[in-house]
Amino acid sequence: MWDLIRDILSWALILIGSAALVIGAIGLVRFPDFYTRMHAAGVTDTAGAELIVFGLMLQAPSWIVVAKLAFISFFLFLTSPVATHAVAHAAWVVGVRPMLGPDLKREGDD
């Protein structure tokens, strides 16, 4: 019984995580400018990876594996948004400005 619930839960988490990553990838291709793309990649990357790690945690054979996965999820949670921030900030400093208003509909920036 517990096994069944665990399987369903972990598969649900893994599938949702994968779906998030796929959606992020689509957003990366489809969005018009740098910042919206960064948004798509950054948000779904963190969420998707975290969800997959949680799903794997439910499948782990032993507690030590759960602990390792918990560490991985902690570091992912810490580093992934920071990486997104660093890239976005670097772009801002270099002079890339987000598209605003009606510009957002066009392909290609500036």
Partner 1 sequence: MSDTTRPTDQGPTDQGPTDQIKTVTNPAGMVQSAASQEYTSIEHLILRVVMKVLFAPIIVFALYVQFHGDYGPGGGFQAGVIFAVAFILHALIFGLEATKKALPQGWLSVLMVVGVLLYAGTGVANMLLGGHLLDYDTIDPQSTHHAGQHYGILIVEFGVGVAVASTMLMIFYQFASREPEISDEEW
Rg of the Cα trace of the chain? 18
Q: Binding of partner 1 at residue 85 (CB under 8 A)?
A: yes
64 is a site residue for partner 1 (CB under 8 A): no
Task: State residue 82 phi and psi, 5-degree precision.
Answer: -65, -40
Of the two residues 79 and 104, which places its CB atom closer to partner 1 in the complex? Answer: 79
Among 79, 103, 106, 109, binds partner 1 (CB under 8 A): 79
2 vs 63, beta carbon nearer partner 1: 63
Nearer to partner 1, 11 or 75 (CB): 75
27, 37 Cβ separation under 8 angstroms? yes
Least gap, CB of 16 to partner 1 (angstroms)? 27
Structure tokens at 48: 């998707």
Q: For residues 26-37, b (16+ Cβ closer than 10 Å) or e, as one string?
A: ebbeebebbbbb
User: Contacts with partner 1: how many residues (CB under 8 A)?
Assistant: 11
DSSP 95: T
Nearer to partner 1, 11 or 92 (CB): 92
> For residue 48, which of 59, 37, 40, 38 has the smallest C-alpha distance?
40
Site residues (vs partner 1, CB under 8 A): 75, 78-79, 82, 85-86, 89-90, 93-95
